[in-house]
Amino acid sequence: MASSEVTSAIQSIESASAGEKPSRYTALLQSIVANSSADNLTANLSAYARSLLEESLGVVILRPLIANFVEQFGKVTDAEVKIEVGQLVIDLLAPKGAQYEEQDTRVKEILADAYEGEEDYIKSAQTLQSISLDSTQKQLSPDDKAKVWIRIVRCYLEEDDTTNAFTQLNKVKSVIHSVKDKGTQLHFRLSQARIYDSQRAFLDAAQAYHTMSLEMLIDEDERIQALSAAIVCAILAPAGPLRARMLSKLYKDERTTSTEHFTILEKIFFDRLLRPDEIKAFEGALQPHHLAKTADGSTVLDKAILEHNLLGASKLYNNIGIDQLGELLGIDADKAEDYAAKMLEQGRLAGYIDQIDRLIFFEGEGSGERKTGHAERIAGKELRKWDANVQGLAEEVEKVTTMIQNQHPEFYASQMVH
């Protein structure tokens, strides 16, 4: 409840003449801001806002008074006061229409700041979303719109709400080509990388983070942080030719030697098998969504390491029993076969599975192209083997013929006559 002094002053102003009200409202606001205690500042400001906005003052008189209130309100340091009073002012301004859009927008920005200060990012995003960006009073530039949308995206990302973040990012995409502010462009690219990361599009995320790490407008520490994020996403990406190219790009970047993940990056780049202690150390640096469960019950990290170790095994063996592969990977044989089959089908691993003899045969690098079918793959392989055998036999016959010609020319000539 407002203090008796403020209540009395408001009653006096409301009964005063129209000409006296502006100056008396201004003086009362200054007094409230300067003299109210922390306990009654919310009540005093709320009482003042109700009186001012429920008065039937004309636009010419009311607009500067509201603008002055918003300016003083923005200087309040207590987040709880801003939240309670700010929401009240927004509700009171709502029925007044577009004439006070500028003041309404400013109050919502202050309220969003307060919510962020309290780490309530969802309410901050929702408050910013209620700002009218198609103003009838003022034409907003692509930069102005993009800044609001990017801020909303970042709020949703703080709560790992990638669905809403992606929706807002699509709005930015519609104007980003016209945005001139470098900071906004960088925030857009970073937000895009974070969304790729959260959606487990790890190769896209790795590329986006690496591009950010090369941006000289960003502080050195932030560039190294982006580079580390690129390494993490590359490691978590599906094993295969595309990931190999990304790993190569990162490994050749001289800066990666100074990151915490260089050791594991090097082992993965060279297709070396990873030990449990190395995986455990890497796991400690990951974010929650990197450790989320997949459809088969394993985590994103588990899947990435299994696929990597399977790819590493293909470099060590020409063929391996399915049971032995399961032991090598630390999983049961059926699961090992399933992982191998998927990687073979998707072209991330080259070879084939002999299910009768329970063997997996490896045939070098994967093409990166999805296979059209097991039968076609086997038939093509057998035809290639047949062609190679025929060619080899022909070459051997030619060698023998040449040797006979060199060592027994008379015999060779007699045979050629017939």
The per-residue pLDDT for range 278-315, each reduced to its tens digit, is 888 888 888 888 888 877 777 888 888 888 888 888 88
The tokens for 348 are 């991330």
Q: Residue 375 has what pLDDT?
A: 45
The confidence band for 137, taking pLDDT boundaries of 50, 70 and 90, is low
For the chain, the first-to-last Cα distance in angstroms comes to: 124
b/e map of 361-394 (b: 16 or more CB within 10 Å)?
bbeeebeeeebeeeeeeeeeeeeeeeeeeeeeee
The tokens for 230 are 């690129």
The tokens for 128 are 């910013």
Q: Residue 368 has what pLDDT?
A: 57
Taking a C-beta distance cutoff of 8 angstroms, is the pair 198, 162 a contact?
Answer: yes
Longest C-alpha distance within the chain, in Å?
A: 136
Q: Where are the domains of the chain?
A: 1-121
Integer Cα distance of 363 and 360 in angstroms = 10
Q: Residue 365 has what pLDDT?
A: 67
Which H, E and C letters describe 323-369, residue by residue?
HHHHHHHCCCHHHHHHHHHHHHHCCCCCEEEECCCCEEEECCCCCCC
Integer Cα distance of 188 and 385 in angstroms = 52
Q: How far is CA 176 from CA 74, 172, 180, 189, 247, in A?
A: 30, 6, 8, 10, 30
Nearest-CA neighbor of 92 among 74, 65, 125, 116? 65
Place of tokens 């016959």: 397
Integer Cα distance of 41 and 68 in angstroms = 17
Q: Tally the residues of the chain.
A: 418
Q: Is residue 149 predicted with pLDDT exceeding 80?
A: yes
Integer Cα distance of 281 and 260 in angstroms = 10
Least confident window among 41-45, 248-252, 359-363, 374-378? 374-378
The confidence band for 394, taking pLDDT boundaries of 50, 70 and 90, is confident
Q: What is the mean pLDDT of residues 113-118?
A: 95
> Side chain identity at 72, as an amino acid letter?
Q
Q: Is residue 380 predicted with pLDDT exceeding 60?
A: no
The tokens for 207 are 């590329």
The tokens for 336 are 């090992």
